[in-house]
Structure 1
Amino acid sequence: MKIAKNLTYYKGLFFELFGCFVLFMKGYKILKRNYKTSATSQIDILALKYDIIRVVEVKYRKKFDNSINAISPAQAKRLQKSAINIAKKYKKATVVDAMFFSLDKPYISHKKNIF
């Protein structure tokens, strides 16, 4: 059980780093990774481009169809609340994006302004 949990954790780290790489190659500046906004909320990637801050949630699933539905309504609400707090802190426009990774096509999908 512990090995499976560790494997999931390291997969998550890998895809968050890979997400940073993809965003960097697209011209984004990575501001923070695994940024804790509260005791119950964490932002996978905080990125900046064209004076807009992007709160990026990273999801990996074996099948692409499953990755699209991976953000629960409760998680969506937390992401929106975090984006509002980030906008107040940085005094910049802030949107929520999602990056989906899967083993089938499309392997990488960056959905902008999902809420």
Structure 2
Amino acid sequence: MTALSRRAGYRLGLRAETWAALILRLKGYRILARRYASPVGEIDIVARKGKALVFVEVKARPDMDIAHESIRPNQRARIVRGAEAYLSRHPKYVNHDLRFDAVLIAPGRLPRHLIAAFDAGR
């Protein structure tokens, strides 16, 4: 992968996360963090709605099915580790209901929010 294509991919990811955050806000979520990074994993978006604390993976791909399939088990494990790190730094959310969602983005399609796209055990 060239530096140019990495840079283009990075910009695409930022745009996709911006769209995802907008969609979530319109659905009543409060965005707590974007691109939350810890030594054990990164989470694209951390959001809250009521008593639900939601860790969101954003995937932008040429097609919705490819976007969904791109959330691999190793990424899920990284997101779960990142969520654990987030909770250790923000203990006020420990009693919230935890959920792992995904927002899928593909050209020419409306973004798709998958509620409970995976669980911590998968």
TM-score by length of 2: 0.84
1:112 aligned to 100, 115, 119, which one? 115
The residue matched to 1:112 in structure 2 has which SS? strand
Mind listing any 5+ residue stretches in structure 1 that lack a counterpart?
Answer: none
State the distance in 2 between where 1:55 and 1:7 align.
25
1:68 equivalent in structure 2: 68
State the distance in 2 between where 1:95 and 1:82 align.
13
2:97 equivalent in structure 1: 93
State the distance in 1 between where 2:76 and 2:31 align.
21
2:59 equivalent in structure 1: 59
TM-score by length of 1: 0.88
Deviations 1:10-39 (A, max 9, x none): 00001101111110011100000000132x
CA drift of 1:80 comes to: 2.2
The residue matched to 1:62 in structure 2 has which SS? coil
Mind listing any 5+ residue stretches in structure 2 that lack a counterpart?
Answer: none
Deviations 1:61-112 (A, max 9, x none): 011111110111111112223334444532222111000001254x311111
State the distance in 2 between where 1:2 and 1:81 align.
29
After superposition, the CA RMSD in angstroms is 1.6
State the distance in 2 between where 1:57 and 1:34 align.
10
